[in-house]
Amino acid sequence: MDGAVLSPVASGIEPELLPIAALCSGAVRYMEEAGQRYVYMEGLKFYVRGTEKQMDALLCLNYPNNSYPTKLFLPANLGLGLNWNADPYLFARHWFSWSWQGVSPNQTPIAILAGHLEAFK
């Protein structure tokens, strides 16, 4: 049926990740590595200084640093004058992140993602 909206159960996506899935061209799912919980986002669409970008991303929901309890990782360093200070190898892939404080883990995943994407306005 064209135009049908799948329920979270039918789509295989956790309900709290559906708003993020609407921003992605591919899979969105929880993943864990070394005790950290991530949301993997395939083909996340977002804006960087008014220009649309699309790339995979990892959102860490419990980063082990009290000053940075959440973290967004991208497959490329976008520059932009941000302090790109992390380049871990996670899930068999190299990722990059920047210093961005003030995004609480006590929010929905979409609110955490939005807090990190504020850096690119």
Asked if pLDDT for residue 70 goes beyond 50, the answer is yes
| β-pair type (28-33, 51-60) | unpaired
Residue 46, classified by CB atoms within 10 Å of its CB into exposed (0-12), middle (13-18) or buried (19+), is buried
Q: State residue 17's pLDDT score.
A: 97
The band of 12, judged by pLDDT with boundaries at 50, 70 and 90, is confident
Contact 69, 57 (CB under 8 A): no
Q: State residue 87's pLDDT score.
A: 84
